[in-house]
């Protein structure tokens, strides 16, 4: 076989224990043909082979973001950015909204995302009345960075019919001031009272969002992503349209939300794993709680200073049990968003009961985020073979909020990578973008250093080495999706999905990991992005 592409003069980190390093590799028809020294690999070259001299640059398996929201990420790139880097104060947040309001027709919704009350100068959420001063009668929502709560202005609340008499919906909370008046802050399912009024993006809008997100992923060396929950057929259609045209920028697995799409899947006989190496149906998923930084993760103890607040659990145990029995009966993979220890315990109980009734020999059922653990929950995960899908970058970007919300004892087992690995629990790293930026090097450094962005320790006993962190951002995602025999390593026969970077992550000071830059991203043996 004559190679299509040869990479030579390279520092190849294969992440394959059988052959950890090499100097060159060859690619044929989208697969790794050979790896080794240059003389050996160049034997695969012919007259039509493209040969790239990498001048000593490092080649790695491309990154696999095992839990993110490509559609939401792509759409959010068109929204008003009020993240802490550009809007660190309430004044600048309002100024950005005022500027956008001047350019937005009065009858259109104004959408903003990314604020973090723990990093705003006022150390609280904005209120509807503050938004009103700059948005007027335009319906406006400002989504917190976690996506689990938003602030709506008075015009948006009025359109939704939310008044002081409106009851909290099940699994949600309308936050009110001391007089009982809604402040505009809507938590968890209460968001839907307003969100359901916003015009849904068209299929064409969704396709554009996926292409925008894909460009960002490729620039970061990410070639595989998992869409962590779709609820509309149009969203799957957008993926399928791009795939049919050969225009999907990155490989994608799509989680289907149980509430909306399990019943149609049951009728159609649609199963996890349906698809190909570019687009595949992944787990069936539900949300069981909120977010730790937002104090809505379901906990077994109350949050400091809020003796009545144990977070928000979406479902009762009986509802969880039934949902996952249906998934198991269908023979599919399952996933649940669970951050608080109470939510995790409920999910594990439901998993155990469902799999006892409908055993699946290699289920790889997942807990997304899997934030606040206790030792007995770790033992249950190991015994059941549950995959943990955390976001190590949460500790960096959101860690200061966790420091305020949880004691040191709780943080010692927050997103506990080392404890998972010591117990043999499979782990797949991810970003949850757009909750935080999708840069894998931030996540890798966060797993290695376990510090917040202000340098505060964040469960430092859970640190892992760079090599382990790299594996969890590559082969970890492959395992979580039953793809470990074709993704996540550089080995003959594996998919030729590679990232070329400007330095060796195993040789640099961990403090410098986030300075590593992508030079080239290769997908399916094709150079898809170059610096």
Cα 507 to Cα 491: distance, rounded to the nearest angstrom: 22
CA 173, 365, 61: angle at the middle one, nearest 5? 105
- Residue whose entry in the numeric block shows the structure tokens 């039934």: 322
Q: How many other β-carbons are positioned within 10 Å of the β-carbon of residue 453?
A: 16
Please, which residues have CB within 8 angstroms of residue 203's CB and are 6 or more apart in sequence? Answer: 234, 237, 238, 241
Cα 355 to Cα 363: distance, rounded to the nearest angstrom: 9
Please, which residues have CB within 8 angstroms of residue 102's CB and are 6 or more apart in sequence? Answer: none
Cα 480 to Cα 466: distance, rounded to the nearest angstrom: 20
- Residue whose entry in the numeric block shows the structure tokens 């052959």: 19
Please, which residues have CB within 8 angstroms of residue 52's CB and are 6 or more apart in sequence? Answer: 5, 6, 7, 8
Q: What confidence tens digit (pLDDT) does each residue in 175-190 have? A: 999 999 999 999 999 9
The answer to whether the CB of 391 falls within 8 A of the CB of 443 is: yes
Cα 192 to Cα 444: distance, rounded to the nearest angstrom: 34
State the DSSP string of 20-41: -EESEEEEETTEEEEEE-HHHH
Cα 354 to Cα 328: distance, rounded to the nearest angstrom: 6
H or E, element range at 217: helix 203-219
Name residues of the chain where pLDDT drops below 70. none
- pLDDT score of 492: 97
Cα 496 to Cα 41: distance, rounded to the nearest angstrom: 15
The answer to whether the CB of 150 falls within 8 A of the CB of 191 is: yes
Q: Is 114 helix (H, G, I), strand (E, B) or coil?
A: strand
Query: Would you state the structure tokens that stand for residue 266, as one six-digit string?
Result: 């049951």
Please, which residues have CB within 8 angstroms of residue 451's CB and are 6 or more apart in sequence? Answer: 395, 396, 399, 457, 458, 460
Query: Would you state the structure tokens that stand for residue 277, as one six-digit string?
Result: 């190496």
- Residue whose entry in the numeric block shows the structure tokens 């043909």: 33
The answer to whether the CB of 8 falls within 8 A of the CB of 52 is: yes
Query: Would you state the structure tokens that stand for residue 170, as one six-digit string?
Result: 């099940």
Cα 231 to Cα 190: distance, rounded to the nearest angstrom: 17
The answer to whether the CB of 283 falls within 8 A of the CB of 258 is: no
Cα 392 to Cα 445: distance, rounded to the nearest angstrom: 9
Sign of the CA dihedral 156, 161, 167, 172? negative
- pLDDT score of 146: 85
Q: Is 492 helix (H, G, I), strand (E, B) or coil?
A: coil
Which residues make beta-bridge pairs with 26?
A: 6, 34
State the DSSP string of 62-79: PEEEEEE-HHHHHHHTTS
Residue 234: exposed, middle, or buried by beta-carbon count in 10 A (0-12, 13-18, 19+)? middle
Q: Taking the C-alpha atoms of 145, 148, 154 and 158 in order, what is their torsion angle to the nearest 10 degrees?
A: 150
- Residue whose entry in the numeric block shows the structure tokens 């009982």: 180
- pLDDT score of 1: 87
Measuring CA to CA, how many Å separate 407 from each of 182, 259, 386?
30, 34, 26
- pLDDT score of 147: 87
Q: What are phi and psi of 485, to 5 degrees?
A: -95, 5
Cα 319 to Cα 181: distance, rounded to the nearest angstrom: 32
Q: Exposure string (b/e) for 330-368, b if CB count within 10 Å is 16 or more?
A: bebbbbbbbbbbbbbbbbbebbbbbbeebebeebbbbbb
H or E, element range at 239: helix 233-244
Q: How many other β-carbons are positioned within 10 Å of the β-carbon of residue 244?
A: 10
Which residues make beta-bridge pairs with 11?
A: 58
Longest dimension (CA), the chain: 79
The answer to whether the CB of 429 falls within 8 A of the CB of 366 is: no
The answer to whether the CB of 215 falls within 8 A of the CB of 223 is: no
The answer to whether the CB of 147 falls within 8 A of the CB of 188 is: no
The answer to whether the CB of 443 falls within 8 A of the CB of 417 is: no
The answer to whether the CB of 400 falls within 8 A of the CB of 358 is: no
The answer to whether the CB of 475 falls within 8 A of the CB of 485 is: no
């Amino acid at each position: 076989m004559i190679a299509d592409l040869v990479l030579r003069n390279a520092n190849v980190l294969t992440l394959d224990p059988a052959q950890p390093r090499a100097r060159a590799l060859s690619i044929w028809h989208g697969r790794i043909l050979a790896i080794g020294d240059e003389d050996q690999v160049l034997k695969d070259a012919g007259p039509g082979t493209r040969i790239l001299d990498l001048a000593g640059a490092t080649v790695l398996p491309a990154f696999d973001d095992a839990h993110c929201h490509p559609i939401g990420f792509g759409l959010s790139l068109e929204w008003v950015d009020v993240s802490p880097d550009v809007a660190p104060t309430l004044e600048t947040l309002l100024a950005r909204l005022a500027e956008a309001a001047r350019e937005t027709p009065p009858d259109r919704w104004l959408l903003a995302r990314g604020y973090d009350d723990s990093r705003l100068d006022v150390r609280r959420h904005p209120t509807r009345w503050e938004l009103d001063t700059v948005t007027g009668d335009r319906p406006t929502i400002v989504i917190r960075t976690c996506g689990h709560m938003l602030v709506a202005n008075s015009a948006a609340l009025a359109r939704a019919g939310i008044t002081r008499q409106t009851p909290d919906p099940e699994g949600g909370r309308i936050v009110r001031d001391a007089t009982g008046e809604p402040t505009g802050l809507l938590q968890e399912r209460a968001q839907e009272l307003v969100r359901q009024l916003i015009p849904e993006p068209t299929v064409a809008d969704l396709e554009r969002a996926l292409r925008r997100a894909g460009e960002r992923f490729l620039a970061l060396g990410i070639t595989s992503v998992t869409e962590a929950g779709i609820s509309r057929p149009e969203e799957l259609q957008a993926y399928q349209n791009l795939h049919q045209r050969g225009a999907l920028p990155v490989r994608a697995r799509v989680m289907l939300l149980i509430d909306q799409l399990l019943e149609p899947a049951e009728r159609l006989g649609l199963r996890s794993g349906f698809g190909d190496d570019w687009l595949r149906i992944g787990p069936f998923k539900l949300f069981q709680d909120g977010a730790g930084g937002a104090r809505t993760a379901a906990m077994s103890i109350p949050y400091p200073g809020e003796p009545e607040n144990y977070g928000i659990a979406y479902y009762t145990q009986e509802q969880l049990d039934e949902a996952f029995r249906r998934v198991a009966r269908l023979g599919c993979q399952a996933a649940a968003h669970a951050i608080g220890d109470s939510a995790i315990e409920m999910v594990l109980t439901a998993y155990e009961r469902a799999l006892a009734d409908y055993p699946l020999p290699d289920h790889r059922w997942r807990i997304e985020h899997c934030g606040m653990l206790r030792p007995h929950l770790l033992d249950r995960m190991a015994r059941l073979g549950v995959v943990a899908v955390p976001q190590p970058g949460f500790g960096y970007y959101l860690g200061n909020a966790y420091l305020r919300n949880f004691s040191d004892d709780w943080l010692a087992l927050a997103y506990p990578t080392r404890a998972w690995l010591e117990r043999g629990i499979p782990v797949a790293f991810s970003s949850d973008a757009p909750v935080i930026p999708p840069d894998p090097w931030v996540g890798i450094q966060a797993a290695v250093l376990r510090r917040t962005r202000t340098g505060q320790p964040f469960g430092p006993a859970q640190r892992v080495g760079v090599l382990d962190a790299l594996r969890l951002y590559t082969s970890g995602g492959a395992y979580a999706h039953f793809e470990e025999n074709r993704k996540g390593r550089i080995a003959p026969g594996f998919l030729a999905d590679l990232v070329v970077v400007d330095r060796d992550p195993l040789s640099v000071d961990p403090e410098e990991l986030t300075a590593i830059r992508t030079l080239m991203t290769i997908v399916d043996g094709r150079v898809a992005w170059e610096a």
